[in-house]
Amino acid sequence: MHSDAFSKCHPAVNLVFFLGAIVATVLIVHPAYVLASIAGAALYYMLLSGQKGLKRILVLLPIFVFVTAVNPLFNTYGDRVLFKVFGRPYTLEALLYGASLAGVLVAMLLWFGCYNAVLTEDKFTSLFGNLAPALSLLLVMVLRMIPNLIKKGRQISGSRMSVGKDASNGRTLTEKISGGMLVVGTLMSWALEGGVVTSDSMQARGYGTAKRTSFMIYRFTGSDGVLAAVIAALLAAIIAFCAKGAASAVFTPTLDIAPVRGTNLAGFIVFVIYMLIPSVMHIREAVQWNISRSRI
């Protein structure tokens, strides 16, 4: 993933936007709003990742289908019975509710993917390093743990494969499980040792022992202030419209979803604009860059 116009903004602006997008996605289960959140997150994720991002998004489709189809098996509330499974009603209301929950899950995964790409470790540390040094260090270590474990796991598996001791080479299931557990054990030992080494290293440097000044390459500019004001205004508008019931949605036992028209349509448009902020900034920068190159 590469840097773009939105990721070049001040980390505080990035953090506020993502917090707003994630919280709004979790709390609003209206189908139209869920689709808007998925569209905004997917578009920005593809702009950041390119073709790889599209492939990762397609991987989420089976998750969406699975959660949608499974929910009516456990939630039998609803008036419109489509058919019965093991004597239990499979209702349309539960199916639509499952689709909404699955959409929220997909949107959350996409927004967190964008968050990890934009709000890097150095940005997070610059925001909270002076306020809570120990907590900031812990969170940074946790956030980088999964990608580091995946990378190291591949290295360990590759090393064992080169000497013919890969887990898949076991003749029996017991041998395969034993080989896989050995890789996992080695990986956990490496992770624990790395955590201890990092902690000792930072302690030796005096990290968090006293208040000190720190160098920051991120400066809050006028454009950051304008963008922060726009984000705050849109969030306030979204909260106001939601308080008036513009995004209300009840699925069970009967469907009661607020129509997207009139005043409700204005609230939906505000929500869409908010979710498209990073993508619009990215596309605007790309267009300006292409225009500048064409004039050379």
The pLDDT tens digits for 272-295 are 999 999 999 999 888 888 888 777
pLDDT of residue 225: 92
**Which residue(s) pair with 88 in the sheet?**
85
Q: How confident is the model at residue 150 (pLDDT cuts 50, 70, 90)?
A: confident
pLDDT of residue 190: 76
The stretch 191-206 carries a mean pLDDT of 75
Q: Residue 185: how many CA atoms within 13 Å on its side-chain side?
A: 7
Contacts of residues 119-124 at CB distance under 8 Å and 24 or more positions apart, as own/partner, are 119/11, 119/14, 119/15, 119/18, 123/11, 123/14, 123/218, 124/11
The stretch 169-192 carries a mean pLDDT of 73
Whether pLDDT at 85 is above 90: no
Whether pLDDT at 58 is above 60: yes
Residue scoring higher pLDDT (121 or 224): 224
Contact, 108 vs 37, CB < 8 A? no
| pLDDT over 90, % of the chain | 27
d(CA 4, CA 53): 15
| pLDDT over 70, % of the chain | 83
pLDDT of residue 119: 82
The stretch 188-215 carries a mean pLDDT of 70
d(CA 241, CA 273): 14
Whether pLDDT at 55 is above 70: yes
pLDDT tens digits, 5-21: 888 888 889 999 999 99
pLDDT tens digits, 128-148: 666 666 666 666 666 666 667
pLDDT of residue 295: 75
Which helix (H) or strand (E) is 141 found in, with range? helix 133-162
pLDDT of residue 1: 45
d(CA 41, CA 276): 8
For the chain, how big is the Rg over CA atoms in Å?
Answer: 24
Residue-level length of the chain: 296
Whole-model pTM over 0.85: no
Provide the mean pLDDT of the chain. 82
Residue scoring higher pLDDT (84 or 212): 84
